[in-house]
Structure 1
Amino acid sequence: MSEQNVIVQQVGNRLDIILNRPDRKNAITQQLAVELRDAFLNVPTDVGCILLSGSGGAFCSGIDLKVAGADLKNEPLTAWVEVHAAIYQCRVPIVVALERYAINAGAALALAANVVVAGETSFLQVGEIAMGVAAPMCQAWLHLKHSPAVADRVVLVGDRIVGASLTELGLVSEIVADSDVAQRARDVADHIASHPQRGRDGISRTWDALRGRIDDPDEWFASLIRKF
């Protein structure tokens, strides 16, 4: 039996979704994307919060170029778009434990979360501009959640954004000691999961009313890939 690229385990009302390719710094392949998409599409009804993390003490280094190829314009990871549509449609709050780094496609996963806990030396980087390509999934979440000024700074500069700068830009919720990221993220996820479901649902509906909803997330995210 092949090893799982994504580990899914429920702990009380918390659902842990763990990227599980530590030998490749949890880099994303087509198979990992399929498993991740399915995890978000099949969240149990009694789950109050999702904790998304990476195995081996790091979050995600982006798309595995060794497998996918360097030319991202071909977008070989067709399931990757479906991952983001599934996250968008997920009605359960998502907490990310950002250990060490979230790079490019990994940054997109962090940007998609409701709450991000990062370490003092953790960094987030949307560096596709230096590769000569757009960053459609990162840009999608920056557009949905952040101001144009923050979005432009992140994608046009393309540098590593570290520690306190992450909170100053509003990209993460809090910074803790590197050794405390995993535990703090679990604590936050457990706390969110402990709230009454009607409260979480009411907050989601209110955000929908204020922000609007995308009618067809699958097509919306896919259209961003087709534009470049």
Structure 2
Amino acid sequence: MKYKYITYQTDQRRAYINLNRPDKRNALNGEVVTELLDAFDKAALDSDCKVVILGAEGKVFCAGADLAYLQELQSNTFDENLADSRHLKSLFLKIYTFPKVVIGRVHGHAIAGGCGLATVCDFVFTVPEAKFGYTEVKIGFVPALVKVFLLRKLGEAQARKLLLTGDLIDAAEACDIGIAQYLVSSGDLDTAIAEFSERLIKGNSEKSMALTKEMIAAIPSMPLDEALEYAAEMNAHARETDDCRKGIASFLDKTSLDW
């Protein structure tokens, strides 16, 4: 697919997927979602990619849904709107369950659906100037899809506060409550992401990280006994992988291992 609203490139086992619609504050519409889905599919199969870095061009990370696009959708039937909503759902789910680590590079404001994109990343690096918020209730809309992931990530109390007030919070608070994990100056952002991702690329098994992510997504919806049985099965499965054999042998032989 030829991209109009995003860019995709790889370098040193990192795939960089960037929103590239700065004139619209990288707002999301159906075409942007389609391109992002294609880019993540590409990254999943890309042997030159072990970690994905999701970022954006311009001053804003993502302002959420394109309001002009939403206005157009108001003339749609319920089934047409449901199809469009499911389209966005598939993107959030793909990023959340993606087999490779996804790092959000939030260099500017992440609002509404843009904050949703940050929420489904594994890690978020941000800068002090960035604001975060789920502002849908302020325009008569609902933060429907992101709510599913936010409840998992932050719990009900924090989710209620953020979703029902629609208030913006600064990057420091976003880190304190768990929407973001790392707060660095804008001048150090790319260096910090490069150093962190290098640790994952060289120090961790890609297969192990994929299995761990799979379990993190699956376990919260399971009853305790079912979750433990699933974990036991995954434990047994992991012992049979080439990566586990390689890692244990390296540890016992006291040899260095570069994944």
TM-score interval, normalised by the smaller of the two chains: 0.7 to 0.9
Matching of residue 82 in structure 1 with residue 90 in structure 2: yes
Larger Rg: 2
Residues 99 and 182 in structure 1, CA contact (< 8 A), matched pair in contact too:
no
Q: Which residue of 2 aligns with 1:192?
A: 200
Gaps of 5+ in 1: 214-228
Q: Which residue of 1 aligns with 2:63?
A: 61
CA–CA distance in structure 1, aligned partners of residues 72 and 127 of structure 2? 29
Matched residue of 1:58: which SS?
Answer: coil
Matching of residue 18 in structure 1 with residue 18 in structure 2: yes
Matching of residue 108 in structure 1 with residue 116 in structure 2: yes
Displacement of 1:31 in angstroms is 0.9
Structure 2 CA distance for partners of 1:180 and 1:77, relative to 1, 3 Å: farther
Q: Which residue of 1 aligns with 2:253?
A: none
> For 1:7-38, what per-residue CA distance to the aligned partner results, in whole angstroms no more than 9, with x for missing partners?
11111211111101011111112111100011
Q: Which residue of 2 aligns with 1:44?
A: 45
CA–CA distance in structure 1, aligned partners of residues 132 and 74 of structure 2? 20
More helix by share: 2
Q: Which residue of 2 aligns with 1:168?
A: 176
Displacement of 1:152 in angstroms is 0.8
Task: Give the AA of the match of 2:159.
Answer: A
Task: Give the AA of the match of 2:45.
Answer: P
Q: Which residue of 1 aligns with 2:9?
A: 9
Structure 2 CA distance for partners of 1:183 and 1:68, relative to 1, 3 Å: farther
Q: Which residue of 2 aligns with 1:155?
A: 163
CA–CA distance in structure 2, aligned partners of residues 116 and 92 of structure 1? 15
Q: How many residues align?
A: 213
Higher mean C-alpha displacement, 92-101 vs 185-194 = 185-194
Matched residue of 1:56: which SS?
Answer: coil
Gaps of 5+ in 2: 223-259
Map 1:109-128 → 2, pairs under 5 A:
109-128=117-136
Give me the CA root mean square deviation.
Answer: 2.5
Displacement of 1:84 in angstroms is 1.7
CA–CA distance in structure 1, aligned partners of residues 35 and 3 of structure 2? 12
Relative contact order, higher structure (CA 8 A, sep 6+): 1
**In structure 2, which of residues 117, 137, 141 is the aligned counterpart of residue 129 of structure 1?**
137
